[in-house]
Every structure is written in C-alpha cells, then in structure tokens.
Amino acid sequence: MTLSPAFPLPLVVAVFVVLLGFVVWQLVSRGNRSRRLSWSLRAAMVVLLLLVALRPGVSGGGGVEATTDVDVFFVVDTTTSIVAEDYDGSDPRLDGVRSDIVDLVEAYPGAKFALLSFDSSAIVRVPLTSDATAIANASEVLAPEITIYSTGSSISQANDLLASTLERAEQAEPDRSRIVYYFGDGEQTSSAPVESFEDSAQFVSGGYVFGYGTDAGGAMREQTGYYDDDKSDDGYVTDDSGSPARSVIDEQNLRAIADQLGVEYAHRTAPGGAPRADASASSIRSDSDPSGGGVIELYWIPAAALVLLVAAEAVVVLRRLREIRAAADRQGSGA
C-alpha cells in the first residue's frame, strides 16, 4: 500500500483532526438518537474525505516503468469565448483544448499533472497527480462559465494562482522540471487591466501558449448550465444589435503571455500535432521494479462512498426542510 497525499501531509492531518474533533463533539453532545445517527454518518464522511486526500494505492505489475521528473501544468481559459465555433471549421474551441490536453498527457509518461482553469475566477481543478486518467477525465468535463454570470473575461485571471501553485511545487520538489501549457484565445473583454505572468517565469522550465480561434471569429452558444435532449445549449450570445456576437482571437495578447512565461506560442487550428516542450534528458529515466511497475490508485473507492453519503445527507436535509415548511404552514393556518 502506498500513499500519495494530494496536499502536504501535515495540512491533511491538521484539517482532519479539526473536522473529526468537531464531529465527535457534536456526536457526544446529541441526546436524540436520530441526531446521533446523522452525526455518525458525517464522521464517516470525514474519514472517507481523509482517505481521498491521502490517495492510497497498490503496486502494479512488474516490469520497466518510464518515470519523468516533470510537473506539467495546464491552464485553461473557460470564459464564454472558449466555445466560439471557429476551431477546425465550425467546432467549439474547447474541443481543441480537450484534444490537445489528451495528446499532451500521453506525451509525458510518468509525469505529474495539474489542471487549472479560469473565467471570472481561477481555480485548481486537479492538483498535481500522477494519475493521467484523472486529468484526461477532468478535461472532458470542462465547461465554460454560465453566460448570465459573465462580467467580461481577463486573460490574466490565473496569473496569481499559477505563480503560487508553481512556487509550492518548486518548494516541495525543487529538482523536478515544471512545464506550463496555457490554452486560450487572448480576448480581453474585462475592464480590468491585463496583468503579467512574469512572477511565474522563474519556476517554468518550458512550455507553450496555445491560441485558439480565427481572425474572422466565431459565434458563441449561450451557456445556461442545463441542457436539452440534444445535449447543447439553445441560442447564441448576442451583441447590442441583437445579432450573434463573434469572438476573435488576439494573438498579440497570447504572444505577450508566452514572452512573460518564457515559453513558445503556437496557433492551434485542428486536432493532432500539438507541439510539446521537451523535458531535459536528466528528467526522464527508466526504473526497473520487479515487484511493481507502477501504482494503481484506489482513492476513487472512498470517493464513491463519500458521494453516496453526501447524497443521503442531501435527502435527509431536504426532508427536514419540507417538515419545517409544513409545520410553518400549519402554524400559519392555525393563526
């Protein structure tokens, strides 16, 4: 059995101790049997959450395993313009992003990967992991922000998050190379000034800025957050005249980001052939391990159990809310 914590182990333990302490206190202080049962389930959730964070695994089959001492960071623009339909003809740009991420994951066997995305805010969707499947799956479910919540896109929204994420990775394992891929169209519609990615450059060993879109631009489907039977949103984003708005690529902005990061720029117009930044020769090695050629991660088992418990908790909460509402209605009618 192996453990590969998603966060520094002291932090995982500290959070676990605080959460478990609170749950146990609630469990002991509750006299009602049903309340104790609810808090017992919550205690189980905390334990399952710990197991997910610890990322347990078992050794895989024997053989020669390629190991890459490289951390690869994917930074994806998920503002509304990323679904503009001018990639490989009339496909959404996001299709190209997904395709390129899958190809790049395969290009770095044995590496660790992280996935960041940004629209009105920037988040780490997948922290550094050696589970390449997790990154591929996460990229497949990437979705743009809801249109009505959009307040304009800033191409530098992720600059602070990327810098802090890279810095933590460098502090944890300074001998590893760090490669950054930025995926976007360069369109700046926010009134906020464009900020620089230069704070990240000191931690970057190589990478690319991939640009998507055309000078002619493409229309963007509205993103409502729910889908019809055809699995697509209805309607297009419109401009002030009521006509479909068009998003165009801004390669000048994208090249500026590449210069700030110290990486190269590439315009992506069709699937396949995505250029990759080469890791240094010292970063790639083959390890012979007759007892196990890899790690089979098992965190998905407690994660699945955690999802079931959370669903059960949601049902209980909804039931109690209905009971409270019914009681309030009875009191109102009695008055």
Domain span holding position 171: 65-288
pLDDT of residue 172: 93
Instruction: Examine the pLDDT at 10 and tell me if it is beyond 70.
Output: yes
Q: What is the pLDDT of residue 227?
A: 46
Whether residue 42 sits in one domain with residue 24 = yes
pLDDT at 334 exceeding the cut of 70: no
| Least confident among 59-68, 132-141, 198-207, 295-304 | 59-68
Q: Are residues 284 and 316 in the same domain?
A: no
What are 160's two structure tokens?
């602070």
Residue 133, CA distances (Å) to 102, 136, 153, 199, 276 in order? 9, 5, 29, 30, 19
Name the band, by pLDDT with cuts 50, 70 and 90, for residue 253: very high
Do residues 99 and 175 share a domain?
yes
Q: What is the mean pLDDT of residues 162-180?
A: 96
Are 222 and 127 found together in one domain?
yes
Average pLDDT of the chain, as a whole number: 85
Reported as a single tens digit per residue, the pLDDT across 259-274 is 999 999 999 999 999 9
Q: How many domains does the chain have?
A: 2
pTM, two decimal places: 0.66
Q: Are 154 and 186 in contact (CB under 8 A)?
A: no
CA pair distance 81, 186, nearest whole angstrom: 10
**What pLDDT is recorded for position 39?**
80
pLDDT, average across residues 54-76: 74
Here the CATH number for the domain that contains residue 180 is 3.40.50.410
Last residue of a domain, one of 288, 304, 321: 288
Range in 184-193, 260-269, 316-325 the model is least confident about? 316-325
Q: Does an H or E element contain 318, and which?
A: helix 300-334
> Does residue 32 have a pLDDT over 80?
no
Q: What is the pLDDT of residue 280?
A: 58
